Chain A
Amino acid sequence: MNQVEKSIRSCVEQGRKAFVPYIMAGDGGLGSLRDKVLFLQDAGATAIEIGIPFSDPVADGETIQQAGERALAEGVTLRAVLQSLQSFKKEVKPEMPLLIMSYLNPILAYGMDAFVQSLRESGVSGLIIPDLPLEESGHIKELLTENGIALIQLVSLTSDQKRMAAIAEQSTGFIYAVTVNGITGAREGFNESLATHLQSLKSISPVPVLAGFGISTPAHVEQLSIHTDGVIVGSAIVDAFDNGDTARISQLIEASKTKMRAAH
C-alpha cells in the first residue's frame, strides 16, 4: 500500500477523517514553502498537497489563479519546488505524505522519467494532474507505480457510474471526488445530490475517497466528511496563509477531528 493510502487509512481507523490542505508552492516566496509544510504537519494535516504554479490553470478559480500568479512572479518553477522539497524532506515525518498537484505541461517539459526520479528524491508520494483524465493516464501511471508513487485520479459529478468504477479501479492513494461542477474556489453550498454521489462512489472504491473543491468552512469540512474518508481544502488555506490567518487553518483541521470522533 502506498504511503498516501496508508496515512489516510490510519487516520480513519483512529476515528478521525483525513484533512488534506492545498498550498500554492512559492506563494509568498519559495522560502515560505518549508514553513508552511511544517506548520501544516504540526497542525495535524493527514497529507499535504503542493500546487505547482502554471501559466494557464484552467481548473482553478480566482484564489488559486492569483496565488499562482504571485508564485510565477517570484520565478517559481516545478524544478525549483522539487529542489526545495528535497532540501527539507528530513524534517517531514515519514507518515506525512507530500502530494504534488501540477498541470501536465510543466511535467512534460521536465521530462517524464526525470520528473518521477525527482519526485522520489524529494520524498513525494502522490501526484495529482487536473488535466489528465483516465484515458490519457496510462503511461504516467505505469511509471509512477513502478516507483511507489500514487496517481490520484479525479471523479466529478458528471462522471457516470461506469466511469466512476473505471476511475476507482485505477486510482491509487485515494480518489479525489470533485464536489461541484466548476473550478476551485469558495462556494456557499453544495448540490443536493452530492451526498448520494459520494456514498455511491465510496461504496465501489477500493481506495479512500476524499472530497474537494469549494470546501471553505469548518461546517463544509464536517458536512463532506460524513460520506467520505475526508476532505481536501485549497482556496481557503491559500487565502488564510496569504492573510497570515493560521488560526483559521487550525479551525478547519480541527473540524475534521472533533465532530467525527463524537459521531463514533
Chain B
Amino acid sequence: MSTATTTITADAGAAPRFDAKWLIIAVCVALTLYLAVVPLGFLLWQSFFTPQSAAKAAVFTFDNYRQAYGSEETWTLFLNSLQFATGASLVAFVIGTALAWMNERTNTPFKGLFFALSVIPLIIPGILFTVAWILLGSPKIGLINLVLQNLFDTEAVFVNVYSLWGMIWVDGLHYSPVAFLLMTAAFRAMDPALEESAVMSGASVPQVAARITLPLVWPAVFATILILFVRAIESFEVPALLGLPVGIQVFTSAIYQAVHRYPSQIGLAAALAVTLLLITSVGVYFQSRLSSQGSKYATMTGKGFRPRTIDLGRWRYFTTAIFLLYFLAIVVLPFAVLLWSSLQKFYAVPSMEALSRLTLDPYRTILSYPNLARSVWNSLLLALGSATLVMLVTSVICWIVVKTRLPGRWLLDNIASLPMVFPGLVLGLAIMILYLYLPIGVYGTIWIMLIAYVTRFMPYGLRYNTTSMLQIHKELEESAAMSGASWFTTFWRVILPLLKPGLLAGWIYVVIVSIRELSSSILLYSPGSEVVSILIWELWENGQYVELSALGVMLILALFVLVLAAQWLGRKFGIREA
C-alpha cells in the first residue's frame, strides 16, 4: 500500500530547539524568488511602457504588444523559430540521449573517457563552433564538400550549412551535451533490475531502451526537451550566422533589433519575450504535473540498487562506431579546425602553403594579453562560485517542489525556471538598473556578475536536480529521520550524495556556461572584474580569429581537465558503480 505523502514535519508547539531547516529553506526560497522576480518584474513592467528618453518620459501603453503581435511578420519569424527550435532540440536530444544511454547503461568499450569528451562541444564558444562549421560545410569553401568533390570528381554540393537543416544540425550538435549531461544523470540513478526484467521477458536491447528505460526516465526526457527547446528558441548565434545569408530570420532577431534602436525599445523586446515566458510556463507546469506523481518515477529505492550495465553483445561494436562518428563530427572536426587555425597567422583553408606558415604566435599573443591572468582568475571564481551556489540552492528548491506537498510549490518551480527565457541582454539590463539604485555596494564589483550568473543558470540547475530528485525514493530520506538525523543532516548526508549524478552534471554545465556567459557579463563587468568571455568576445570583435582559436584550444584543454577532476571527485563521494 502506498500513502504517497511526505508531510513537512514541523515543530509546532513544544519545540525547545531551533531548527536550522526552516532557516535554510526560507533563505533558499527567498533568494530564488528575489533573483527571479526582479528581472521578471522589470520585463513585465517595461513591456507596458514606451521607451524613456530625455526628450520623452515613459508612458503606459499597450502599443508594445500591439506592435509585437499585430504584425504578420512576427508570426512568420515565430514560425521559423518554432521549426528551428523543434528541430535543434530534437537533434540535440536524440544525440545526447543515445550517447548517455550507451555511456551509462551499456558495456560499450572505452566509454570511461567519453563523459569528459562529450562536453567539449559545450566548451567551444558558440561563434567559434558555428564558424568552424561554415569552414566545414559551406557549399563554396566547406572542407567536407571540397574533399567529396575531389573524391567523386563532381561539382555537386554535398552539404550546405546555410539552410534550416544546416542550422538545426549545427545548433543541435552544439547543445547535445546538455541532453547528454541531463540524461546521464537520469540513467545513472536507475535500478538495472527494471531493465533486466524486461530482457528476461524476451525484449531486445532497442526494445528495452524504448519501452522500459525511456518511459522510466520520462520526467527527465521532458525536462531535457523543455530546456533544449527554450534554449534553442532563444539562441542567436546560429540563426545570425547561418540563417541570415539565406533569409531565414528568427524570433530573437526581432528582439535584437528592438533593443538595438534608439531609443532602445526594451518594451517591445519585453513584449516579444513574454511569448517565451508563456511557452516555458506551460512546459514547467506539465513538468510539475509529472513531478507530483512522485513515487512513480522513484527508481532509486533503498533496495540494493546497483548501477550496472547491460551487455550489448555484438551490438557494442555498432555503438562504438556511433561513438567514434560522434566524436569525429562534434569533437574532433571542430577541434581540429580550431587547432589548425590557432597555429596560423590568419584564418586559411588547410593547404600545403598554409602548412609552411605554421606558427605559435597566436598563443604568444594570448599569453601576453593584458589582464589575462585576472580575467582567468575572475572567471574561475565566478564559474565555481555560481555553479556551487546554483546547485546547492536549487537542490533545496527542488526538494521542496518534488518531496513536499506545500501549496504553491508549482509556482516556486515556475518562477525559478523563468530566468531561462529572459533574453540575456534584458536580464543584464534589469540587474544593472536594480543595483544602480539599490545602495548595497555590489554595483561595479564582481558580485553583481555572480548575481547575474546565479539568476541565469538557476533554471538549469533546477532541471538537473529535479531529474535526479524524482528518482530518490522517499523512504531513503525517512529512514534517516527515523535514525535520529535532523533535516539538515539528512539533506547533507543522504539527499545530496544521492543527488550526485544530477548535481555533478548540473555543476559541470553551469561551470562551462558561466565561463562562456557574455550577454549580461558585458554590461555588468567593470575595470578590474574582467572575465574570459569578455576576452573571447574582444578577440572576435577585433577579428583576431587565430588568437581566439588559440584561446579556445587552451580553454577546451583546461575545462577538459576540470571535468575529469570533477568526475574523479564525484566518484569518490556518492554511489559507486559495480
The answer to whether A binds B is no
Q: Interface of B with A (CB < 8 Å)?
A: none
